[in-house]
Structures are given as C-alpha cells and as structure tokens.
Amino acid sequence: MSDLANSANLDDIEERNGKRGSSRSASPLGATPVRILTILGLLLTWSLATYFEWLPAFYLPSPRAVVEQLFTVATEGYADATLLQHFDASLWRILAALLIALVTAVPAGIAIGLSPIARGILDPIIEFLRPVPPLAYLPLMVIWCGIGETTKVLIILIAVFAPVAITTAAGVGAVPPDRVDAARALGARRWQVLWHVVLPNALPSILTGVRIGLGVGWSTLIAAELVAASQGLGIMIKTASDFLQTDIVVLGIFVIALVAIGFEWIVRLAEKLLVPWHGKA
C-alpha cells in the first residue's frame, strides 16, 4: 500500500524538483508556451491530414466536421439527449461516487493510519479491491443491482475508494510525532489532535488521492456507460460508433478529455487554496 502512496506523489515531487532546478537550467521557453505550441502543432497536423486526405474521412474526420457536430449535438441532441444532458448524467454519477468515497474512504484511511487493529481489518479489503479492474465487478453489480444508476455509482466508488483510502493512510502516517506531542503537551484532547494536527498534515495526501481517484473513476464511468446507460458521454460514443459516425466519436473523446483536464485543474486549485504550504521548502 505504501508503494501506491509513494507513486501517487510523483507529480508533486517532480513539480517541486522542477522549481528547484529552474534556476540552474533556465529554458528560453516556459512550459506553457511549449504546451500551446504542441497543441497547435497537433491541430495543424490533423488539419493537413484531412485536407490532403492522407486518411479517409471515415477513419479521421476533419476538425471542421467535429466542430459542426459539436453545435449539432449541443442544440439538436444525439441519442435522445443533448450534449449538456449527456454531460450532466456523467457528471452526476462521478460526483455522487466521489462524495460517497470521501465520506467512507477518508475515515477508513485515518483509521488505518492511527490504529493497527483497523489496519489489520481494512488492509486486506483494500488490497483485494485495488488490483482488480473495477469493470470486472460490473457483471456482478448488474446481477445484484440491475442496470440503473446504483450500479454505475458503485462501480465508480470501487475505483475511487482505494486511492483515497491509501493516500489518506499514508498522509496520516507521515504526521510528525513532535507536532502531536506538542499539541498534547498544550492540553489538546484526542479529537482536537485529530482535527487540528492530523487532518491538516494529511490533507495534501488526501487531495492527491482525490486527484488520482477522479481520473480512475472518470475513465471507469465512461467504460461502464458503454454497457448500461441511457444517457451519458459513454453511451453517446457507443451509439455513434454503432452507426459509424466517427465525427461524433471524436467529439465525445474531446469532451471526455476536457472534463478530465477540468477535474485535474480544480483539484490542483483546491490544493493551492487549502494547503498553500505544501511543497514549499
């Protein structure tokens, strides 16, 4: 479990190392301009490939065709729903699963980090859930709960639970003992130590777990919607694929990617607001 917790913080470690090393090896271009140039280069390559028909439009639709479908699906709808309705259905599922995961996985992680007994009880459960792909549980969930919303939310919950619980436990275990001793010396009770010392120190790890869980949960949701859903971005892509409408498939892929980027940006913003000291020397 510690291996996943350590790997979960790789992005933060690389980011801190990058900041420390920037003064030693300054680049004439920052990361943001390079990202923009890369995206523009990919769009240009895509446009040229479709303009000169390097690939048939059936395999690779043009950017113009994808944009036209964006307006069509957004206004007229596709697969019995508009783009906003598909997006709302997927968003509700991932947020419901995330909320349940925060209510259950964070206390579980705290218990693992503080109590050997809780660690002995919860560790085997988490280690059983973690290596199994969440979609492997889908047939069982369909048998138990049918093909309604409960099944999809539970599948996402399984995907999100382990990363949040593991990183929370790692954050709690990394709390400096001297801070706990200082709080107790000042007369803090057990719940006060937990609230004012343990949780603030574990919060960066919890947010890291949320970031990882959102990524895994979002990809799991889209795959689950391919199997059993009436609305959602996944079923929109599946329907377009069944009717060989590649432009709508590409549109769905872009929307899914943009939503994932949005999740990442929101969690990183929350990290800057809630734990501004994290990663600073």
pLDDT given for residue 25 in this prediction: 45
DSSP states along 4-30: HHHHHTHHHHHHHHHHHHTTTS--SS-
Q: Give the whole-angstrom CA distance, residue 207 versus residue 276.
A: 12
pLDDT given for residue 185 in this prediction: 82
pLDDT given for residue 53 in this prediction: 84
Whole-model pTM: value is 0.80
Q: How confident is the prediction for the chain on average, in pLDDT? A: 85
Pair of tokens at residue 244 = 């060989």
What are the tens digits of pLDDT across the range 161-175? Answer: 999 999 999 999 888
**Phi, psi for residue 156 in degrees, rounded to 5:** -65, -40
